[in-house]
Amino acid sequence: MPVLDHFRLDERVAIVTGGNRGLGYAMAQALAEAGAAVAIVSRTAADAETAAAAISQLTGRNCRGYACDVTQPEAV
C-alpha cells in the first residue's frame, strides 16, 4: 500500500481560511486531492467561489466557497 493511502481524507470535510490564493489555495487543493470535501473561506464570496470551482474542476471533489472575515469574532 502506498504511504499516501494512509493519509486519505475521504468522507471528511476540511475548512481552509484564506484558501482563495497562495498557500491557502495550495493547501485546499492538496486536501481535495487527498479526498476531502473542502470549504474555502475568504473575505469575499466571489474569490472563495472562484477558487472552489477551480479546485473542484481539477480534483473532482466537492469544494464550496464562503465569505467570512475571520478577524471579526461576530462573523465566525
As a whole number of angstroms, the distance between CA 50 and CA 40 comes to 10
What CATH topology corresponds to 3-75? Rossmann fold (3.40.50)
In 3-state terms the chain splits into helix, strand, coil percentages (rounded to 5) of 45, 20, 35
Tell me what the mean pLDDT of segment 3-9 comes to: 86
As a whole number of angstroms, the distance between CA 46 and CA 12 comes to 24
Measured torsion, CA atoms of residues 52, 57, 58, 60, in degrees rounded to the nearest 10 = 100
**How far, rounded to the nearest angstrom, does the alpha carbon of residue 44 sit from its chain's CA centroid?**
15
On the question of pLDDT at 76 being above 90, the answer is no
On the question of pLDDT at 10 being above 90, the answer is yes
Tell me what the mean pLDDT of segment 35-52 comes to: 97
Tell me what the mean pLDDT of segment 11-29 comes to: 97
On the question of pLDDT at 56 being above 90, the answer is yes
